[in-house]
Amino acid sequence: MSELSELYQQVILDHNKKPRNFRKLESANHSAEGFNPLCGDHLTVYLNLEDDAVKEISFEGSGCAISKAAASMMTQAVKGKSKEDAEQLFTSFHEMVTSDLDEENVVERLGNLKVFSGVREFPVRVKCATLPWHTMHAALNNEALVSTE
């Protein structure tokens, strides 16, 4: 079960159990909903964007452990970042879970989001990990709805 323990790392299990920033954001001025029709995952990402910087971010919804932990850790990683940096992080994250290339600068930039690198061994689960990011991207760009299929 070694690939499994790569996937379900303790950090991920912890964020699944106790997701951070898991609530509706009353002060949100941007939000978007994400669906994965295949498995029924569904979440809303709320953003408070000021001067092109993410002042506050939160999410709510239901999904598997991977998507929930990915959303939780994303909110922590993105909070306080500029819009541009947040988008850059999304690109790096996407690269990490979809390719075998462990480019050092990419991994460096991702910090503790590295725990999701195990996802690439489970191609059907990649969408679970990226759904929150796609949804955040949509919220940043004023798109209301994303669907990963």
Partner 1 sequence: MATIEKSVSIERQVNTGFDVQRIREDFPVLRQTVNGKPLVYLDNAASSQVPQVVIDRGSIYLEDEHSNIHRGVHYLSQKATTAYEGAREKVKRFINARESRECIFVRGATEGINLVMHGYGRKFIGAGDEIIISAMEHHANIVPWQMLCEEKGARLRVIPMNDAGELLLDEYDALLNERTKFVAVTHVSNALGTVNPIKRMIDQAHKYGVPVLIDGAQGVPHMLVDVQDLDCDFYAFSGHKMFAPTGSGVVYGKAALLETMNPFQGGGDMIKSVTFEKTIYGDLPNKFEAGTPAIASQIGLGAAIDYLHTIDRKQAAAHEDELLRYATEKLSAIEGVRIIGTAREKLSVLSFVIDDIHPHDIGTILDQEGIAVRAGHHCAQPVMQRFNVPATARASFAFYNTKEEVDVLARTIERVVEIFS
Residues at the contact surface with partner 1, assessed by CB under 8 A: 1, 3-4, 7-8, 13, 16-17, 38-42, 62-66, 68, 122, 124-125, 128
3-state SS, the chain, equals: CHHHHHHCCHHHHHHHHCCCCECCCCCCCEEEEEEECCCCEEEEEEEEEECCEEEEEEEEEECCHHHHHHHHHHHHHHCCCEHHHHHHHHHHHHHHHHCCCCCHHHHHHHHHHHHHHHHHHCHHHHHHHHHHHHHHHHHHCCCCEEECC
Q: Which is nearer to partner 1, 30 or 133 (CB)?
A: 133
Of 68 and 109, the one with the shorter C-beta distance to partner 1 is 68
Q: Based on the number of CB atoms within 10 Å of its own CB, is 11 exposed (0-12), middle (13-18) or buried (19 or more)?
A: middle
Query: Rounded to the nearest whole angstrom, what is the least distance from the CB of residue 40 to partner 1 in the complex?
Result: 4
If the CB atoms of residues 10 and 105 are measured against partner 1, the closer one turns out to be 10
Residue among 124 and 144 whose Cβ is closer to partner 1: 124
We find the least distance from the C-beta atom of residue 62 to partner 1, in angstroms, to be: 5
The minimum distance between CB 149 and partner 1, in angstroms, equals 12
Closest separation in Å from C-beta 17 to partner 1: 8
**Residue with Cβ nearer partner 1 (8 or 22):** 8
- Distance of closest approach, residue 84 Cβ to partner 1, in angstroms: 33
